[in-house]
Amino acid sequence: MKNLFNKVAAKVRAGWDKFRGRKNEAPAPEPDLRGLLPHRVLTQEQQKELVLENLRRKTSDIEKYLYLSLLQASDERLFYYTAFRHTEEIMPLIYTPTVGQACLEFSHLPLAPKGLYITPEDKGKIRELLDNWPEDDVRVIVITDGGRILGLGDLGANGMGIPLGKLALYTICGGIDPRHGMPVMFDVGTNNAKLRSDPLYIGYPHPRLTGTEYLELMDEFVTAVKAKFPKAIIQFEDFQTANAFKLLELYRNQATCFNDDIQGTAAVALAGVYASLKSSGQDFKDQRIMFLGAGSAATGIAGLMVRALQECGLSEEEARQRLWLVDSKGLVTAGRGTLEENKQPYAHDHAAMNLLDAIRDIKPTVLIGATGTPGTFTREVIEAMAAINQRPLIFALSNPTSQAECTAQQAYEWSQGQALFASGSPFEPVEYDGKTFRPGQGNNAYIFPGLGLGVMACGATRITEEMFLAAAHALAELVTAEDLRDGTLYPPLKNIRCVSEHIAKAVIETACAQGVSSIPLPPDIIGFISRQMYDPACPPKLPPKPPGIAPK
C-alpha cells in the first residue's frame, strides 16, 4: 500500500512540476492518473476549506501545529494557499505562541526531519553538508544555536522549530518562494542537563561548545555559505546575548546578514513608537523610553532608537540620555560597577532604584518589556505609566504569550483604557468600559519578511542599519487613525503581504541610495516586487489588495 501511495504521489508531483514549469534534464512523459484519483477532484479552494475544517476539529494548538506541519510536508502549495488567505488564524499556530510549546517538545514530536544540522563533528566538512542540500538557489538562511529560544532558554537542537517557523513566515508574509529557504540548526550542544539526559533528544548530547572552537565552526559555516550560496541572506536567530552581538559585529560587513532579535525587534518597536506619535502629536525627539530587560532585544532596540533620534538632530550622547535600562538588579546606572558591554552606553549618572520608582522619577513616555519573565508589568507599574501619560505606550514583547510582561486585558484595564499596547505574541480583543480594544502584535514578522524580500529583489550586498530605520518608517506609515483608536500600534495581520511590499520598497530605495544594490532603482518598484513574489494559487492568482493599504 505504501509503495502504491508513493507511486501515485510521484505522478502527482511530476504533474505539478510540469505545471509550474520546472526544468528537467529530460522532458518527463505526461503523467497518466486515470484510475488513481476519485471521480471528483476538489478545487484548490475546496481543498483549503477541507484543511480548515480538519484543523478546527483539533482540540489543542500543538495538535494543530502537527497537522499543519504534515500538510506543509505533503502539499506545500495547499499549505501556503491556506495560510495566505487565513494568516491571522494560521500564523499563531505555526509560530508564536505555539512554536514555543513545539520547541519544548520537539524531540518528542512525530515530525519528519527538515533543515540542515551542523555539529562540532562536522568541522572541516560544512561545505560538503551544504552540497547535500537539495535546492541550488538558496536565498534566505535562518540559523540558530538554540541557546535562547524565545523566553524559554537553552533548548539545544529542539530550537529547530524557530528557523522552520521563520522561513514559513518569509513565504506567508513576504512572498518568498519556499524553495529559496534553508533552516539551519547550529547544534553545538546544550547546557540543559535535562535535554542531554533525555534518551529521545535529537541533538548533540554534550555541553555547549564555546570560545574559539565555537567561532571557528561558525566562521567555516559563513565562509561555506558565501561560496555555495552567494546570494543568500543569513538571519541569526535566538542566540544568547553575548554570541548574538559578537556574531553580528563579526559578519555584518562581510556577509549579507542580520540578527532578528537585535535589529528586527528594534525596527518593529521603533515603528510602534513612530505610529503612536500620530495620536499624541508629540515629537519623537521628546520621548523618554524605558526598557525592562537589558539583553540583546532591549539594547538592540535602544541602539536603533539612538540612530532614529540622531535623525531628529540630537547628538549621540543626547540621544542616549533619552533611553533608560532596568535589569534584574534595578536601574542601570554608571555607579553600579562592572557592566556588560551592551549596557554601558545607557548607564547614566542616577541613583539606583527599582522599576516603579524609576518610572515615577524619570517619567518615561514609553515602557518596553523584553525580559522573558511574565507578570513584571504589575498593576502599580501600568497605573504609574497612566498617571504620567495621557496615552502610555506599553510594549510587552516577550514570547511566547505565557512569558509576556503583562496581558492585553491588564494593560487596558489598569490604565483605564488609556494604553496603546503591543505584545510579541497575539492576544484576543479586549472589552473594557463599553469599548473593544484590539491589541497590536509587535511581532518581527512585520519587519523581516519585507526586509528579506527587498534585499533579495535588489540583490543588496549588505544589510544596513538604515534599512531597518526605513522599514520602521514604512511600517508606521501604514498604521491608521482607526488602528490607534482601537488601542493598537500596528496594521492588521491580514494585510501583512501588502505591508511587506511597502517595506521591501523602502529597503530597495535605501539600498540604491547607499550603493549596496546590485540593480538600478526600478521605475515601478511595487510592480517589480510583486512580480517576484511566490503565489501558491493554481493557476496563480493573488487575492485583491485591501483598499487603503498604501499611504496617501
Count of C-beta atoms within a 10 Å radius of residue 243: 21
Q: Is the pLDDT of residue 94 over 90?
A: yes
pLDDT tens for each residue of 202-213:
999 999 999 999
Mean pLDDT of 212-229: 98
The DSSP 8-state label assigned to residue 444 in this structure reads: G
Please give the grid coordinates belonging to residue 237: 536567530
Q: How far apart are CA 428 and CA 436, in angstroms?
A: 10
Judging by beta carbons within 10 Å of its beta carbon (0-12, 13-18, 19+), is residue 501 exposed, middle or buried? buried
Residue 552 — pLDDT band, cuts 50, 70, 90?
Answer: very low
Collapse the DSSP code of 254 into the 3-class scheme (helix H, G, I; strand E, B; otherwise coil) and give the result.
coil
Task: Assign 434 a pLDDT band (cuts: 50, 70, 90).
Answer: very high
Question: Is 95-255's fold the same as 263-445's?
Answer: yes
pLDDT at 342: 87
Across 13-17, 239-243, 449-453, which has the greatest mean pLDDT? 449-453
Phi, psi of 122 (to 5 degrees): -95, 5
Whose cell is 508589568? That residue is 377
Specify the pLDDT at position 13: 58
Query: Is the pLDDT assigned to residue 381 strictly greater than 80?
Result: yes
- Please tell us whether the domain made up of 263-445 is placed in CATH 3.40.50.720: yes
In this model, does residue 311 exceed pLDDT 90? yes
Using one digit for the tens of pLDDT, what is the confidence trace for 340-367?
888 999 999 999 999 999 999 999 999 9
pLDDT of residue 1: 44
Amino acid type, 7: K
pLDDT of residue 2: 47
CA distances from 173 to 57, 166, 431, 450, 479 (A): 25, 10, 29, 8, 17
Residue 551: pLDDT over 50? no
Structure confidence by residue, pLDDT tens digits, 259-300: 999 999 999 999 999 999 988 888 999 999 999 999 888 999
The residue extents of the domains of the chain are 1-33, 95-255, 263-445
Give the whole-angstrom CA distance, residue 276 versus residue 237: 28
Q: Which residue has the higher pLDDT, 395 or 15?
A: 395
Contacts of 297 (CB under 8 A, 6+ apart): 261, 262, 265, 370, 397
Taking residues 496-515, report their average pLDDT: 97
**Catalytic machinery residues:** 95, 166
438 versus 358: the higher-pLDDT residue is 358
First-last CA distance in the chain: 59
Q: Which three cell numbers stand for residue 212?
A: 574559539
| Model confidence at 78: pLDDT above 60 | yes
In the predicted model, is pLDDT for residue 219 greater than 80? yes
The C-alpha cell of 232 is what? 543568500
The residue among 150, 180, 243 whose CA lies nearest residue 443 is: 150
- Among 33-37, 344-348, 465-469, 542-546, the range with the most confident prediction by mean pLDDT is 465-469
Rounded to the nearest integer, the mean pLDDT of the chain is: 91
Instruction: Just give the CATH number of 95-255.
Output: 3.40.50.10380
Structure confidence at residue 236 as a pLDDT band (50, 70, 90) = very high
**Residues sharing a CB contact under 8 Å with residue 549, sequence separation 6 or more, in sequence order:** 478, 491, 495, 498, 499, 502
Arithmetic mean of pLDDT, 501-530: 97
Q: What is the percentage of the chain residues whose pLDDT exceeds 70?
A: 92
pLDDT of the residue at 535: 92
Contact 156, 186 (CB under 8 A): no
Cell 510536508 locates to 73
